[in-house]
Amino acid sequence: MLHDATHRAVRYFARSLAACVLLFAGAAWAQSGEPIKIGYGISQTGGLAPNGKSALLAQKIWEEDVNAKGGLLGRPVKLIYYDDQTNPATVPGIYTKLRLRHQHAGAGDAGRRAEEEDADRTVRARGQQ
């Protein structure tokens, strides 16, 4: 079970990363040299910590490997991650922090709007319970 959850987390990260790369592709040529920042929340404490820690290790290995080969589109990659404590209530705050502190982190403007809409829906749904 733990093995399957780890594989799902790694697959999710890979899909998210591919989306980020596509979103950043146009801006990459205009801003060569600046790192491509990929921000996200990942469980490092709480019930899903073992899965999150192994997924983060894989992601850090990927980051080091990509940067050793010259980066993405000639730019280094920088992973920016925060512990979501296996608590869904922390996720909107994490993405707000990413937007405010690391303006280039996340999945771009379209992704930010989607994240904000998801956070709003989550807050509204919790209020209806």
- In sequence order, the 6+-apart residues with CB closer than 8 A to the CB of 37 are 78, 79, 80, 102, 104, 105
Tokens 């512990």 correspond to 83
pLDDT surpasses 70 at 71: yes
Give the pLDDT confidence of 73-89 residue by residue, as tens digits: 999 999 999 999 999 99
Closest by Cα among 57, 17, 54 to 37? 17
pLDDT of residue 91: 92
